[in-house]
Structure formats: structure tokens, C-alpha cells
Amino acid sequence: MSVSHSLNLRLFAPPPTAIPTHAHQPPPTLLLPRHRRLPCLRASSSPEILVSDNNGVPAPPSDPSSFEVDAVTEAELKENGFRSTRRTKLVCTVGPATCGFEQLEALAVGGMNVARINMCHGTREWHKEVIDRVRRLNHEKGFAVAIMMDTEGSEIHMGDLGGSSSVKADDGEIWTFSVRAFDSTLPQHTINVNYEGFAEDVQVGDELLVDGGMVRFEVIQKIGPDVECRCTDPGLLLPRANLTFWRNGSLVRERNAMLPTISSKDWLDIDFGIAEGVDFIAISFVKSAEVITHLKSYIAARSRDSDISVIAKIESIDSLKNLEEIIQTADGAMVARGDLGAQIPLEQVPAAQQRIVQLCRQLNKPVIVASQLLESMIEYPTPTRAEVADVSEAVRQRADALMLSGESAMGQYPEKALTVLRSVSLRIEKWWREDKRYEAMLLPSVGSYFSEKISEEICSSAAKMADNLEVDAIFVYTKTGYMASLLSRCRPDCPIFAFTTTSSVRRHLNLQWGLIPFRLSFSDDMESNLNRTFALLKARNLIKSGDLVIAVSDMLQSIQVMNVP
């Protein structure tokens, strides 16, 4: 059976026949089976994976076989079929444990969708090498791994540990926190602090928290630029770990509230990110929406055709206060639980996470849940049960992406940690589909223009139809990626194949839930696009005759339901 039904909603150029221009108007036109009327394009003998340009430059539209999908997606689709592809996306922080080409390749093969570089650590030259390697990987192997640059932000943190990757602080030990610049090696039990005003601001009796309480000290004495502290909660000190100090049970933040969100060093890093053409810039310690607006206009002025997305990291009390407008202004958000847990009581972090994830979905912005998902795997090859439960909860909340930090940057088992994220995501997604455990979420309209509202209606209808008809996949043809994001937002049961014309949009879509992005040069003629896609996918055994597909497009604003011929 090869049946196709189509509903076309055209806003700007209505053809002579009566075509409804509004969802509330007369019933959709049901056209006759399409593929009987159409010659199916023959698949070229073996359509090559088009090597990615990786700078967002579309492939020449004249190339008829231009089609880009990575080997891992391809293998996954072939092995397990559409239904069991992973919907939750995975972000890996790249550090000394994973910066080599083979290590990066292993992560890409393991499911890394986005590589994060943290400008708190390493030099720009180091980061440039990582970016170049990821680019090469995309170029040579057809991956679409996006690059996210994370700014340092101007919070108080420790310095490097004189070359050590970590140092143990034991109970009762006396450590010196100092703003002095030591020119040779650090004296024993001494930690550098980056903030000049540190010794002035802290008081004897204050509690000093490293990484939000992973290690705790009590301030016992101030001697000029040095602050002597006693370790009260032992643990591992990591280079450049964040520091907060607490007095009478509250966070002391008058001083660091004066520090700018984007420091002068951050601006240089941002210039670097723009020059390198990273896909996402994640801004640490965002306090208000203004800083996002400011950064976006800076990026726009610096690179006119840049499509760098700005991700707001929610990791401070102020960001929670201004949450809605921050998310509204940004292109996405990160639940940065590491620092967030240092600013609000730990028991409030889960509720904050749930609120941020829900709000992002309502506002149609991708959201990443980050930090300590598999913290114990920095040292051990298996996660704790509690960590698996935490990952499951983030997947169940249907966050767009999960992120590894220390686990992939400097841990001993980066690939194993990624495997855990992948297998837990797959299992929970399956459980949730089979048991229909999700609560329906009210998704308010987000578009400002009528055409955007039509797109929203089309996508929510298509997603609902896909669930009710149990289709195998939704195909979306989208130049900007907007229609794909609207479909992803509906979190349908089936995967969404997103066909887009540029590598840059393809990489951006790689952060969003349920999207399998392909680069394909297509035309405004949906019938020929569909036939070409079917031919290309069939030639690679990615789909087969009879698969039920819903296709939508942002050029035509249409919905079509059909069996693959």
C-alpha cells in the first residue's frame, strides 16, 4: 500500500484552488496517492556521504547526491530501526583525558552530539587544537558534532594546583588560601585564589565551600594576603574549582555581585569563539537578560552571517530570579547544577532543575542538564545507583541534553561514562514510550508572526498525528531549523528526521531532543524532495518500503502522511 494524504497550508502564495489558510477553516484537502503519480528518482548507485564543509557553507545546490549523515546514526538506524534511536542528546566536556583525535573519535562514536570546551581551563591554543580536531572528525567521518564554548565568568575560584590534576584535603588539615602570586612552585597546602579582594572580604569564622561543598573549610586566621583555613569536610580539590563563602548560614555575595558577568578575559575568549566559528557560546553566571541581549548584538556586529547560539547557564540566585526573561532572550539554557548547588541549598536544586527544564520546553529553547551526573565515574568504572537514578530523572523530564564534565574532561573512564548516559537514556525513553508515562504539557504559542503560529499548529498536529497513527518517523524539511525545533518541542514518540541545507544548522539541531539531523540540498518542490529523500535513504537501507512517514516542511507549510513507496 502506498497512500499519501496531504494537508497544505499556504499563507503567502495561495494557488488558484481553494486551500485553507487557517487551521480552523474547512477540512484539509486529501490528495490522491502521490507516489503513483510520480516517477520515483533512482538512487544513484551509491550516494556518497558528502564531506562536510563544517563552516556552515551549504553544499553547492547543483550537487544532486549531496547528503550528509554520520556513520553512527546510520548504523543505529539500521540495527535497531527508527523507534529505538536515542532521543536525549549528549554533551561531553573535552579536557586532558579526551583531547586527542582518537579519543574524540571514540566519544563521537559513543554518541557525543556536542563537544564542550571550558575556557576556565587550558590556553586558547589548546582549545583551538580541540576545535580543529572536532572539525576534522566531522569532515572526515561525516559527524555533526557541534562545539560549545563555555566562558569562565568572573566568579571566585582557586588557581591551578601547580600542575597536579587533583589534591586531597584531609579532615583537620590547615590550608592557606592566598591572593599572592607565587612565581615558582606552590608551597604545600597552599591554594591560589583569583580574586584580589578575597582576604579583605572573608571573616574569621566564615565557611569556605569548594565546588559548592565538595570540600569545606573554616576560616581561622587572616594574615595579610593569606587566609588560613581548617578543613572540616575532606575531599578532592580540583584545579580552578569554584569558591564561595558563607556567614551565619547565608552566602556572602555583596562583593562578587559587583563583578561583571562577562569579564575582560571572557570578551577575548568570545572573540576567539567567534573567530573559530563555534556553534554555541555558553555564558556562565548569567544574572539578567540584558547581558544576553548585549552579547547577541556583539556577536551580530562582529560576524554578520554568524549563527552562534547563546546558551544561558543558570547557576546563580539572580539567574533564578530572572529566569523567564533570561530563557526567553537566550537560545537555550543549561542547568549548571555545580555552581547552582553552591548558591542555593542542595535540596532546592532538583525543583530548580524541573522548573528550568519545563520553562525551556514551554519557551521552545533547548535545555542541558549538567554536572555530577556520573561524578563517581571520574574514578570508578561503574556509576552509583543514585547517579543512574539522577540521569533517569533528567531523561524522564525530557531535557534536550545531558552533559558530562569532569567525567569526560579528566576522568579515567570517559567512554564508559558516555555509554552509561547512552544506555540509561535509551532505556528510560523506551519505558516512557511503552507506558505512556508522560504528563501532557501545555505548550503555549511562542511565535509572534501569523506564519510562525501556523508552523506551530502544523507541528503540534503532525506530532499528535504521528503518535495516534503510530508512524515510524516524521520528516521535516527546514532551512532555518525552526520547524524542527517546534517538532522536537512536542516530544513525539517517533524520531524526527530533520533535513536541512547547511552543515551549521545541522550541527545546531544536534543539541535538540529527538532530532536526527541530515544535510541535504533540497528544492521548494516537496514531491521531488520526498522522492529524492526516499531514494537516498532506501539506497542506504535506512528506510524501507511501507514505512509510515509524516512529512512537514517550512517552505510549503504542509503535512503529508504516506507510506514509503
Interacting residues toward K ion by CB under 5 A: 118, 120, 150, 284
Spatial contact of 338 and 212, defined as CB atoms under 8 Å apart: yes
CB 532 within 8 A of CB 525: no
200 or 379: whose CB is closer to ligand ATP?
Answer: 379
Count the alpha carbons within 13 Å of 546 in the hemisphere toward its beta carbon.
0
- Min CB(208)–ligand ATP separation in Å: 16
Q: Among 7, 238, 515, 551, which residue sits at the site for ligand ATP (rule: CB under 6 A)?
A: 238
CA–CA dist 118, 115 (Å, integer): 10
Return the number of the residue (70 or 318) whose C-beta is nearest ligand CC(=O)C(=O)O. 318
- Which of 338, 411, 414, 565 forms a contact with ligand CC(=O)C(=O)O (CB under 6 A)? 338
Q: How far is the CB of 485 from ligand CC(=O)C(=O)O (least distance, A)?
A: 23
Integer CA distances (angstroms), 331 to 130, 276, 289, 402, in order: 24, 19, 12, 17
From the list 45-53, 183-191, 215-223, 333-341, the region that binds ligand CC(=O)C(=O)O by CB under 6 A is: 333-341
How many other β-carbons are positioned within 10 Å of the β-carbon of residue 210?
Answer: 25
Going by C-alpha positions, the residue among 15, 49, 257, 8 that lies closest to residue 156 is 257
Tell me how crowded residue 208 is: count the other CB atoms within 10 A of its CB: 25
- Report, in Å, the least distance between residue 4 CB and ligand ATP: 48
Complex with ligand ATP: residue 159 or 565, whichever CB lies closer: 159
Site string for ligand CC(=O)C(=O)O, 68-107 (x = CB under 6 A): ----------------------------------------
The listed partner (Mg ion, K ion, ligand CC(=O)C(=O)O, none) that binds 370, CB under 5 to 8 Å by sort, is ligand CC(=O)C(=O)O
Which window, 229-237, 337-345, 476-484, 501-509, contacts Mg ion (CB under 5 A)?
337-345
Which residues are registered as beta bridge partners of 118?
150
Number of residues that bind Mg ion (CB under 5 A): 4
Question: Is residue 370 a contact residue for ligand CC(=O)C(=O)O (CB under 6 A)?
Answer: yes
Sign for the pseudo-dihedral over CA of 531, 533, 538, 543: negative
Minimum CB distance to Mg ion, residue 538 (Å): 46
Question: Which is nearer to ligand CC(=O)C(=O)O, 34 or 313 (by Cβ)?
Answer: 313
Write out the DSSP string of 100-114. Answer: SHHHHHHHHHTT--E
The stretch among 56-64, 106-114, 244-252, 331-339 that binds Mg ion (CB under 5 A) is 331-339
Q: Does 157 bind ligand CC(=O)C(=O)O (CB under 6 A)?
A: no
Query: Restricting to residues 334-363, which ones interact with ligand ATP according to CB under 6 A?
Result: 338-339
330: left (phi over 0), alpha (psi -120 to 50) or beta: beta
Contact residues for 304 (Cβ-Cβ < 8 A; gap 6+): none
Partner from K ion, Mg ion, ligand ATP, none contacting 329, C-beta within 5 to 8 A by type: none
Running DSSP on this structure, what letter comes out for residue 309?
E
313 binding ligand CC(=O)C(=O)O? (CB under 6 A) = yes
Q: How far apart are CA 314 and CA 324, in angstroms?
A: 11
Collapse the DSSP code of 356 into the 3-class scheme (helix H, G, I; strand E, B; otherwise coil) and give the result.
helix
Decide: is 405 part of the binding site for ligand ATP (CB under 6 A): yes
Taking residues 124 to 153 in sequence order and writing x for each that binds ligand ATP by CB under 6 A, - otherwise, the string is: --------------------------x---
Q: What whole-number distance in Å separates Cα of residue 56 and Cα of residue 303?
A: 13
Burial class from Cβ neighbours inside 10 Å (0-12, 13-18, 19+) for residue 395 reads: buried
**Footprint of ligand ATP (CB under 6 A):** 93, 95-96, 118, 120-122, 150, 238-242, 284, 338-339, 405-406, 409-410
